[in-house]
Amino acid sequence: MTAQNIQAWECIVCGYIHEGAAPPDECPLCGAPRSEFKPRRPSTPHLPAVGGPEGVRVAVLGAGIAGLAAVESIRSASPTAQVTLISEEQHLPYQRLNLTRYLANEIAENQLPIHPAQWYTQHHLQLLLGTKAARIDLGRRSIVLADGQTTAFDKLILATGATAAIPPIPGAAAENVRCLRTLDDAKAVLDWARPGARCVCIGGGILGLEAAGALARRGVEVALIEGQAWLLPRQLNERASRVLQKQVTGLGIRLYHSAGVARIAGEGRAREVLLQDGSSLPTDFVILATGVKPTTALAEQCGLTVNRGILVNDQLVTSDPNVLAAGDVAEHRGTVYGLWTVSQIQGHIAGLSALGGQVAFNGVPRSNFLKVLGVGLFSIGAIEPEGPEGRALEQETDSGYQRFVFRGGRLVGAILLGDTRSATAVKSAIERADDLGGLLQRRLPATAVLAHLEVQETGARRG
Q: Which stretch of 262-271, 281-290, 360-369 has the lowest confidence by average pLDDT?
A: 360-369
Query: Same fold for the domain at 1-42 and the one at 177-290?
Result: no
**Backbone φ, ψ for residue 115 (5° rounding):** -130, 150
CATH code for 53-163+293-354?
3.50.50.60
292 within 8 A of 298, measured Cβ to Cβ = no
Please give the share of the chain, as a percent, with pLDDT higher than 70.
Answer: 91
309 within 8 A of 337, measured Cβ to Cβ = no
Handedness of CA 382, 384, 386, 390 (dihedral sign): positive
Q: What is the architecture, at CATH level 2, of domain 177-290? A: 3-Layer(bba) Sandwich (3.50)
Reported confidence tier of residue 375, pLDDT bands at 50, 70, 90: confident
Q: How far apart are CA 223 and CA 275, in angstroms?
A: 12
pLDDT confidence of residue 9: 78
Q: How far apart are CA 82 and CA 23, in angstroms?
A: 31
Helices 340-354 and 65-77: crossing angle in degrees, nearest 10, is: 40
pLDDT digits (tens, 9 = 90+) for 338-361: 988 899 999 999 999 999 998 999
Picking from 326, 318, 279, 282, the residue whose alpha carbon sits closest to that of residue 302 is 318
b/e sequence 298-322, b meaning 16+ C-beta within 10 Å: bbeebebebeebbbbeebbbbebee
Select 1-42's CATH number: 3.10.20.600, 3.20.20.80, 2.20.28.10, 1.10.540.10.
2.20.28.10
* Paired strand residues for 179: 288
CA dihedral of 352, 356, 360, 366, whole degrees rounded to 10: 40
178 three-state secondary structure: strand
pLDDT confidence of residue 18: 73
57 three-state secondary structure: strand
- Domain extent listing, the chain: 1-42, 53-163+293-354, 177-290, 382-462
Q: Starting at the edge strand that comes first in sequence, how are the strands of the sheet with 323-325 ordered? A: 125-128, 82-86, 57-61, 155-158, 323-325
pLDDT digits (tens, 9 = 90+) for 209-260: 999 999 999 999 999 999 999 999 888 999 999 999 998 999 999 999 999 9
Other Cβ atoms closer than 10 A to 201: 29
33 within 8 A of 17, measured Cβ to Cβ = no
Is residue 267 packed enough to be buried (19+ CB in 10 Å), middle (13-18) or exposed (0-12)? exposed
13 within 8 A of 27, measured Cβ to Cβ = yes
246 within 8 A of 221, measured Cβ to Cβ = no
For 101-209, where are the E strands, in sequence order?
A: 125-128, 133-137, 142-145, 150-152, 155-158, 162-164, 177-179, 198-202
pLDDT digits (tens, 9 = 90+) for 93-106: 998 989 999 999 98
For residues 24 and 65, the model is more confident at 65
